[in-house]
Amino acid sequence: MSRLPLFLLFAAVVGGAIFWLVTGPDALPADHFAGVTGDAARGEGIFAATGCASCHMAPGAKGEAQLVLAGGQRFVSDFGTFVAPNISPDATHGIGGWSLMDLANAVQRGVTPDGQHLYPALPYWSYARMQPQDVADLYAYLLTLPPSDAASLPHDLGFPFNIRRVVGGWKILNRERDFVVQGDLTEPEARGRYIAEAMAHCGECHTPRNALGGLDTARWLAGAPNPSGQGDIPNITPARLSWSEADIVAYLTTGFTPDYDTAGGHMVHVVENMARLPDSDRAAVAAYLKRVPGIE
C-alpha cells in the first residue's frame, strides 16, 4: 500500500477520534445541587413558566388531561419531525426513575441519563440559564403529576440528523448559556429577563435561526418563520411592538391584543401559562421587553 492511502486512513482515524472526544456529553458538576431541596408547591409556578405541558401533553389534551405528560405531539422543522416524549412520572416509559441530576442534565445540558445527546427541540440552552433551586422545584412538582404508560415515539429524521453524536458538534457551535440582554437592569427587568430568556424560552420561537438551526442572538426576538411553514412568528422588539407595558401585561393575562385580536396557535398555551404566574411576573416580562434592543 502506498503512503498516501495510509496517511488518509490515519488522518480519518485520528479525525474520527478527535470528533468523538470533543462531541461527548457535557454533564453538570456533581455538586450542582449541593444544599438544594426541591419544593413541589413552588415547582407548580416553575412548571407553568417553563411550559412543559404545552409540548409534552398528549395531542389535543384539554383541561386536567394537560397534566398527563404522555408526549406524542409532533413538531415539524427543516431537519425533520420531532416527537415530544413521555415525561410523566411513569417509571418505565417516563421519568419516574430519573434523579434530580438526570432531569437537570436533560433540560440544562441536553444529555440523557445514559449519556446520549438530546435534540435541541428541547430548549436546553435556554433552560441552562435557570437557577438550581428552580430546577429542583420543577423536578419535585413533575413527580406529583399523573403517570402515563404511553411509550415515547421515535423522531422522524433523515441522515445525518438521525445520528445523535452529530448533536454534540451542534452544541459546540451553538452554545449559548449567558443572558442575551445585558446592562444595568432594574429588578423587575432582570426578573423579566430570567422569565423570558430562561424559563419561558421566548427566543426559541421569536428569534431567527442560523443555517445550523442555532439562535441568531444578534437579532434577538426580531421574529422568525414559523417552523410549520404557516406564516411568521412576530418581531416583539420595541422596533415593532408598540404596545405599552400595560398592553403587554393584559395580553399575557387574557390573550387579547390592544385592538381586540386574540392569541393564536402555540401562543394560546403560552398565554395560559403566563396567566398562572403572579401579576408581578407578567409586569416584569413587559418591562424586560421594553429593554430589548429594537430591531427592524
pLDDT in tens, 176-193: 779 999 999 999 999 999
Above 90 in pLDDT, residue 294? yes
pTM score: 0.90
pLDDT at 165 exceeding the cut of 90: no
Average pLDDT, the chain: 90
* pLDDT for residue 21: 53
Q: Which CATH architecture has domain 187-291?
A: Orthogonal Bundle (1.10)
Show the cell assigned to 41: 408547591
Q: Which residues pair with 209 in a beta bridge?
A: 215
pLDDT, tens digit (0-9, with 9 covering 90-100), for 190-239: 999 999 999 999 999 999 999 888 999 999 999 998 877 778 899 999 99
Cα–Cα distance, 201 to 122 (Å, whole number): 10
β partners of residue 262: 256
Share of the chain above pLDDT 90, in %: 74
94-108, 132-146, 156-170, 281-295: range with lowest mean pLDDT: 156-170
- Please, where in the chain does CATH 1.10.760 lie? 187-291
Query: How far apart, in whole angstroms, are the C-alpha atoms of residue 27 and residue 21?
Result: 14
Give the integer Cα–Cα distance in Å for 127 and 276: 19
Q: What percent of the chain lies above the pLDDT cut of 70?
A: 92
Residue 137 has pLDDT above 70, yes or no: yes
